[in-house]
Structure formats: structure tokens, C-alpha cells
């Protein structure tokens, strides 16, 4: 059996990235984010790890599919047509490549993520 352990949110295995993601532009409040990439395969096309964000709003563009499980906090995603969905601790969801809109962190978010990169898509982490 081949498995890769991420540890737990309070005992991460990697150095944090504190830069905002590519395609994320702050538009309200003073949001900040921290990302821990726990696993990146050699081809760099399937990224997994932990993410934390403080309250505020980003204008976002997703160039890759992202599976999310929130284990702490609250966020509302609003697409460019104005349709909104709020997610809270315990929620899991998929944001598909091509999503454009806003990510509003209403309460500090802690999540685990898995991002599947397309063939010609650059990592949102500048990797």
C-alpha cells in the first residue's frame, strides 16, 4: 500500500507560503492567507495541503479544479452572475476550473485541499 501522511493542521510537515494565490486579488477588508503544500508529485499536477485565511474578500479566478473540506470557519463564494453559496465547518465542495467571482472569508477558514492542474496551467503557488 502506498500512502502519504499530511499530519494534522496543528503539526504540518512543510514551510508555509504566505503570498496570496495567483489569480486572487484583495477587494474588501484586509484578508491574508497561508498555504502549506503537503504533497506535490514530480509532474506538479495534483497539489494537496492545508490552507488558512483571515476575514476579507478576494476577487478570484480558478484555473484548476479544487476539492475543499472546511474544518473551521465560514466563507461565501459568489460567482460573476451574483449567485452565492455559503460554506461552514464540515462542508466539502468542488470549485471547478473557470470559476470567477469572489471568495469572502467571514470567519477564519482552515481547510484541506486537493487541486488538479490542467496540462498547461501554472500552479497558483508559483511553484
CA distance 26 to 72: 21
Overall domain count for the chain: 1
CATH number at residue 68: 2.60.120.10
Among 38-42, 92-96, 103-107, the range scoring the smallest mean pLDDT is 38-42
Contact indicator for 126, 37 with CB cutoff of 8 Å = no
Residue 91 lies in a domain: yes
pLDDT of residue 50: 93
Mean pLDDT (the chain) is 89
Dmax over CA atoms of the chain, in Å, equals 46
Residues 6+ apart with CB under 8 A from 82: none
Residue 15 within any structural domain of the chain: no
Per the domain annotation, does 125 fall within a domain?
Answer: no
Structural domain for 112, as ranges: 24-116
Amino acid at each position: 500500500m502506498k500512502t502519504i501522511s499530511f499530519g494534522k493542521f496543528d503539526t504540518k510537515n512543510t514551510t508555509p507560503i504566505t503570498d496570496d494565490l495567483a489569480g486572487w486579488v484583495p477587494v474588501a477588508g484586509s484578508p491574508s492567507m497561508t498555504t502549506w503544500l503537503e504533497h506535490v508529485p514530480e509532474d506538479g499536477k495534483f497539489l494537496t495541503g492545508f490552507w488558512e485565511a483571515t476575514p476579507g474578500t478576494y476577487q478570484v479566478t480558478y484555473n484548476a479544479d479544487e476539492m475543499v473540506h472546511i474544518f473551521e470557519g465560514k466563507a461565501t463564494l459568489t460567482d460573476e452572475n451574483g449567485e452565492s453559496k455559503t460554506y461552514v465547518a464540515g462542508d466539502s465542495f468542488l470549485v471547478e476550473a473557470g470559476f470567477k467571482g469572489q471568495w469572502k472569508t467571514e470567519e477564519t477558514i482552515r481547510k484541506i485541499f486537493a487541486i488538479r492542474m490542467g496540462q498547461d496551467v501554472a500552479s497558483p503557488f508559483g511553484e
